[in-house]
């Protein structure tokens, strides 16, 4: 399956309530695949959030610092889920994207493209120690 078909399939599975297109190619793809879903262009000055951010050409021409800054801004202010097509010339490698919380969703060896996905709800598993039995026990406190 090529990367574009994979992006289309992921959009159909996710069925986001709204999409923020990070570039014109993403806008066209989201409009074609999800005609009933509101799709808006990314505006750094806007405070409106979306359910999913989609990027196809957004990382082209950015250095590593600019790409990380863009991803951080999108994660914090735009959408809790991000679907990115990453070209071979991208300044961010797979390890850096994994460190940012992304999961490799697909690899297209023919076109040398990768698709990465980020979901705030599932990017980190909850560790075993993070539950009530390891927290303070008020009954053990003495005045």
For 76, the token pair is 């914090």
The angle subtended at Cα 17 by Cα 54 and Cα 78, nearest 5°, is 50
Return the residue matching tokens 């806008």. Answer: 27
- pLDDT greater than 70 at residue 134: no
Instruction: Dump pLDDT digits (tens) for 87-131.
Output: 988 999 999 999 999 999 999 988 889 999 999 888 777 777 776
Which has more pLDDT, 83 or 47?
Answer: 83
Pair 96, 126: CB distance under 8 Å: no
pLDDT number for residue 89: 86
In eight-state DSSP terms, residue 12 is: H
Strand partners for 112: none
Write out the H or E segment, with its range, that includes residue 119: strand 113-119
Instruction: Dump pLDDT digits (tens) for 7-37.
Output: 999 999 999 999 999 999 999 999 999 999 9
Look up the CATH superfamily of 3-121: Vaccinia Virus protein VP39 (3.40.50.150)
CA distance 69 to 121: 21
**pTM of the predicted protein model:** 0.83
């Amino acid at each position: 399956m090529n990367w574009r078909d994979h992006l289309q399939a992921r959009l159909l599975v996710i069925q986001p309530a709204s999409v923020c297109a990070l570039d014109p190619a993403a806008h066209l793809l989201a409009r074609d695949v999800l005609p009933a879903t509101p799709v808006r262009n990314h505006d750094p000055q806007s405070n409106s959030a979306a359910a999913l951010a989609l990027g196809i050409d957004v990382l082209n021409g950015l250095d590593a610092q600019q790409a990380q800054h863009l991803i951080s801004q999108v994660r914090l202010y735009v959408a809790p889920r991000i679907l990115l097509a990453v070209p071979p010339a991208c300044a961010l490698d797979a390890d850096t994207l994994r460190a940012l919380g992304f999961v490799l969703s697909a690899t297209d060896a023919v076109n040398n493209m990768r698709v990465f996905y980020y979901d705030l709800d599932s990017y980190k598993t909850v560790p075993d120690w993070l539950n009530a039995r390891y927290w303070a026990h008020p009954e053990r406190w003495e005045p």
